[in-house]
Structure 1
């Protein structure tokens, strides 16, 4: 499913449109934008952009802001494209979005077919990543969810016992 967001276009999109491409009526092909999973990057939209299309919103998500600014968030590994259209539906720019895993401070432990990730900043602690084994992912993210609920008052009362 394609995610389409209509917004008022303003200035630039990673790079401003060149006069030659705009005059020729051809879309500007922009450089590849690389972002890490669970990280955000701020982009500028081309002038006169009214619609943004993300090829695969499972990989990257866009959130339009004021003044032609777009926040791009890496959601899952892979690549997709981002297209800017003017109010007449003509494509004015296109770029490829590449979402990669963070390599800084992350250690992967492989036990047979099971994988676990640790964030070592500087002490190593469990950190769920896409591709971790289902058991590790479920246990670790479940603990994080329970902790988050307790911190926000949503989980006041009993805490589920850990399974052995």
Structure 2
């Protein structure tokens, strides 16, 4: 979601992050999502850096936090008056135990080995490997979409 601040009307829910200035960490993996409960009366949610993590606020008092890039950012919940209800640190990391990394000099390639090893592009992979792999994925998806129309 490109928007940095989202204004929403939420039903009451228990707070996942501490109130009034204390900070709690939310851990999420790149390309994964995590369900987080919002504090009661939260009206606005602000993500410090939406390039690192993004949120999708649901009507039932929860939000989905999605890891987009490695790093740390913050998440702020405000009430209708702009009063700080909660602030959390969002830490986005890699699922390193699920990815095999092959280092060839300065070039890196990533593979998902569950159980057979297949290319699985990750940020930081060598540009040639990244482009070849994404090109193959795009071509395969285009073929699959075209085949579904017939």
Query: Under a length normalisation based on structure 2, what TM-score does the superposition of the two structures give?
Result: 0.91
Q: CA RMSD in A?
A: 1.9
Structure possessing the higher radius of gyration over alpha carbons: 1
Residue of structure 1 aligned with 2:14, choices 12, 15, 18? 12
What residue is the counterpart of 1:162 in the other structure? none
Give the Cα–Cα distance (whole angstroms) in 2 for the partners of residues 152 and 29 of structure 1.
48
The runs of 5 or more residues in structure 1 that have no matched partner are 22-26, 157-164
Give the match for residue 62 of structure 1.
55
Given the two structures, how large is their TM-score scaled by the length of structure 1? 0.83
Count the aligned residue pairs: 147
SS in 2 for 1:104: helix
Q: Distance in 2 between matches of 1:141 and 1:36?
A: 20
Q: Deviation per CA, 1:60-117, whole angstroms, max 9, x where unpaired?
A: 0000112111000000000000000000111110000000000122111111111000
Q: Flag structure 2 segments of 5+ consecutive residues without an equivalent.
A: none
The list of structure 1 runs, each at least 4 consecutive aligned residues, that deviate by more than 3 angstroms after superposition, is none
Give me the whole-angstrom Cα distance separating, in 1, the residues matched to 2:15 and 2:34. Answer: 12
